[in-house]
Amino acid sequence: MEGLKKEIFDKVKDYFDMKEHKLPDKIGVAYPCIDHREVNQVIDSLLDMWISQGPKVKQFEKEYSEYIGTDFGVACNSGSSANLLALTALIQAGYLKEGDEVIVPASTFTTVISPILQTGLVPVFVDIELETYNNCPTAIKNAITDKTKLIMAVHSLGCPSKMGEIVKIADDHGLYILEDCCEAHGSSINNKKVGSFGTISTFSFFVAHNMTTGEGGMVMTSDEKLYDILTSIREFGRLKKYEKNQPRFYYEDGFLNDYDERYVFTNIGYNLRMTDLAASLGIEQLKKLDNFNKLRLETAEYYTQSLKKYDNYLMTPTIPSGCFHSFYGYPIVVKPTAKFTRKELINHLESRNIETRAFMGGDLSIQPAYRDTICKVPFEMPNTKLILNNAFFIGSHSYITKQQKEHIITAFDEFFKKEILDE
């Protein structure tokens, strides 16, 4: 059987070796970078009949937690679910309660905010800083009240938040930290991976991200109490100690007597499990992540160097000292003093088959879904407003070719030649 399995794996490799790899004509902001190794991992799970949560999930959790530098990883079906799990676990552990305030950056994605509201907590929007496009530590400090219990530090587009300052603020005020690292796989500060600074952290493995499981997420923590709750609520709220090889019908607590342990539920939970098929992709993707990120950084540096001549018109990203930026995307801000608009620039890029994306939700405090909720905005947010009106990002994924990068810069040059001549 093993010989036949090897033959199948070899045939898959032969297929990929023979297959002509052609990128889409449009240069996208993301592209799934997989080959025969990911496919063979999935086939291995299928042949072993593990298509739901099983040994590959456990392997992926172990390897990813070792990579990030936490004691535990709990895989789930999306980054959004990861945030829901993390917040629910913090509440069920008694660390948070309904009505507690959570400080979040206003310029982020909806999967940061919706789980806060869904768990009965109160989002408090604060301004970002333009150096990182992340939480502004000063804004965080100013927004703290006696109801504040949690800081959500979001590492946008792969750029690490200023965790040294944020951790100090949290320590000084007795607050917990949830790091949203959904766009920051492998990013680090002084060689310490993001996701290892806070009480708990979350990752997404969506198909567009630096590494992918198709759909999927992970919650990371070194808090064993949280880990026990996370593993339970991920799977219906099932009794944590249940293992398939244990004897049946032995649970007793005075209400349930000699009951099947598989059907004892100690927490209010969900079904948010990752499948072994998804984890199979993740196991191979993790092996490639550092190289993926190296290529992303090289692309970002090429963009920055090539666009430097347009500094009067554009803000391009900087990398904070001591940080590794994994560049999920390459953000660009059209300066308010420019004689053209963001819309004009992105329309030109799109006409040249270059995909652009708005900077996530821009300002979530004014998005329709959140206007009539209990969200709080204690202060003006000028940087968030600038991002809302002037920011976008382009692709920096590891499959972008030299010719495509040159095409992107040529498109910028074409636009600015026209704009400068028109001034």
Residues forming the active site: 209
pLDDT at 350 over 70: yes
Chain centre to alpha carbon of residue 126 = 20
CA distances to 208, 219, 355, 362, 409 from 80, rounded to whole Å, are 14, 11, 24, 18, 34
Q: What's the pLDDT band for 296 if we cut at 50, 70, 90?
A: very high
Query: What is the amino acid identity at position 4?
Result: L
* The pLDDT value given to residue 197: 98
Which pTM was predicted?
0.94
99-128 average pLDDT score: 97
Among candidates 230, 228, 225, 236, which has minimal Cα distance to 268?
Answer: 236
Which of 203, 211, 175 has its CA nearest to residue 293?
211
User: For position 239, what pLDDT does the model report?
Assistant: 85
Query: Of 57-66, 248-257, 260-269, 414-423, which has the strongest mean pLDDT?
Result: 57-66
Q: Is the pLDDT of residue 249 over 90?
A: no
pLDDT for the residue numbered 244: 57
| 306 within 8 A of 409, measured Cβ to Cβ | yes
Q: Which residue(s) pair with 416 in the sheet?
A: none
Q: What is the mean pLDDT of residues 385-413?
A: 96
Q: pLDDT tens across 163-213, in order?
A: 999 999 999 999 999 999 999 999 999 999 999 999 999 999 999 999 999
Of 250 and 300, more confident: 300
> Does the structure show a pLDDT above 90 at 418?
no
Category of 195 on φ-ψ map: left (φ > 0), alpha (ψ -120 to 50) or beta? left
Distance between CA atoms of residues 388 and 253, nearest Å: 55
Q: What percent of the chain has pLDDT over 70?
A: 97
Give the whole-angstrom CA distance, residue 183 versus residue 393. Answer: 13
Q: Domain 290-422: state its class.
A: alpha beta
Q: Alpha carbon of 388 to those of 254, 342, 360: distances in Å?
A: 57, 11, 9
pLDDT surpassing 70 at residue 246? no
47-61, 155-169, 248-262: which has the minimum mean pLDDT?
A: 248-262
Please determine, for residue 214, whether its predicted confidence score (pLDDT) is greater than 70: yes
**121 and 87 Cβ atoms separated by less than 8 Å:** yes
- pLDDT for 188 equals 98
Residue with tokens 């002084």: 190
CB-based contact 195:222 (threshold 8 Å) = no
- Edge-to-edge, what's the strand order for the sheet holding 188-189? 192-193, 188-189, 323-324
Residue, of 217 and 419, whose pLDDT is higher: 217
Q: What is the pLDDT of residue 422?
A: 56
> How do strand 330-334 and strand 391-394 relate by DSSP bridges?
antiparallel
Map out the domains of the chain as residue ranges: 2-286, 290-422
String of DSSP letters for 278-310:
HHHHHHHHHHHHHHHHHHHHHHHHHHHHHHGGG
- Pairing label, strands 391-394, 122-126: unpaired
* Same fold: 2-286 with 290-422: no
CATH for 2-286 (3.40.640.10, 3.40.605.10, 3.40.50.620, 2.40.50.100): 3.40.640.10
Q: Find the helix or strand (DSSP H, E) in which 137 lies.
A: helix 137-143
Quote the pLDDT of residue 258.
85
Q: Is the pLDDT of residue 352 over 70?
A: yes
Kind of pairing, strands 101-105 and 176-180? unpaired
